[in-house]
Amino acid sequence: MRFVRRSDAGSGQPRHVLTSPAFRIATAVLAAVVAVWALVLRPAGEAVARPLLLVSGRDDHGALAQAEVALLDGPDGSAVGTVPDGTLVEVLGTRGEWIEVRAIVGAPVDVAGWVNDFFLRGQVHVVADPPACPVPLAGEPGATPYATLRPSEQVVLVDHHLAPDGLWVGVQPLQDDAIGLVPFAWVRELPGPVASEGEACEDVTLDPEAVPHQHG
């Protein structure tokens, strides 16, 4: 079994987006990664991906404070709707600490509005089933994985794919250049539990050649 390089699991507490110069630099790097992913790995004619974030109703300690987060008609504006905690959204625009987003899954499709960056997460965890086991990383939805991430690896979201078996998202570990796909159902704001004593994980059959397909 092969692992991509492990990133720091961190404290497990939520991290808000766009709150420091360092994160703004990281966002720029992510935008470049998304651009490469869109131009090199996506088939010609498909729509270019936008940066993805996770809506969060949790406080700084990870406790659920709001099951629904309001979307506004503008920065500091009036509510036009709500989306549930855990909704996947794509970024349409930014204005200071306010982000214009559109829901992809977890809410009525195409619902859009502005939300303060306090309620958005740019870094998430991937938690497989069982949650304390390595996370298979595939090159295409449903394909044989080509690598594994460590349990609860921290990643950024770079793309999404709607497949017959559901929504898949492209992920990139924080300290690695590997990009691959996992089911969106495995995306979590907080890390999963550690393995209990005596708990065993099944071996994952890997195909090192099944990396994300590059389109010429």
pLDDT, tens digit, for every residue of 121-139? Answer: 999 999 988 888 889 999 9
Mean pLDDT throughout 102-108?
Answer: 77
Q: Which residue has the higher pLDDT, 27 or 78?
A: 78
pLDDT of residue 193: 82
Instruction: Give mean pLDDT, residues 142-168.
Output: 91
DSSP string for residues in the chain: --BPPPPP---S---BSS-SHHHHHHHHHHHHHHHHIIIIISPTTSPPP--EEEE--B-TTS-B--SEEEEESSTT--EEEEEETT-EEEEEEEETTEEEEEEEESSSTT-EEEEEGGGEES-EEE--SSTTS-EEEBSSTTPPPSEEEPTTEEEEEEEEEEETTEEEEEEEETT----EEEEGGGEESS--PPPPTT---PPPP--TT-PPPP--
The structural domains of the chain, ordered by start, are 1-12+123-211 (no CATH), 50-121 (2.30.30.40)
